[in-house]
Amino acid sequence: MSVSTHVLDSVVGRPAAGIAVRLFAGEELIAESVTDHDGRSRLTEDATALGVHRLVFATGQWFAEQGRDAFYPEVVLTFSVAEPGEHHHVPLLLSPFAYSTYRGS
């Protein structure tokens, strides 16, 4: 299973570059990354197990580095992998006091 993400700052309408992201399978850390200039990160190309996975975004640190207050110190997106051979793209639409996500392609 490959896992990627794309983070957009919905307040300024731009990619959120420089956010630290961690991928977990259960409690095991699988990969760590930082979003690139386009707000994207490909966390792994390696096969992982069936089951629950989490993406953890260090949003509080990122907002603080920009001198912006934020309500969420981190955003945790939990998703279930039923088909390990498929690509899983999990975007994050971010603002200081709200966020949303969806299963991308």
Q: How confident is the model at residue 89 (pLDDT cuts 50, 70, 90)?
A: very high
- Whether pTM > 0.75 for this model: the answer is yes
Residue 18 pLDDT class (50, 70, 90 cuts) = very high
Under 8 Å between Cβ of 100 and 93: yes
The residue extents of the domains of the chain are 2-101
Compute the average pLDDT of residues 40-62. Answer: 90
Copy the structure tokens of residue 8. Answer: 């957009």
Domain 2-101 falls in which CATH fold? Immunoglobulin-like (2.60.40)
Question: Which sign does the torsion angle of CA 2, 40, 57, 61 carry?
Answer: positive
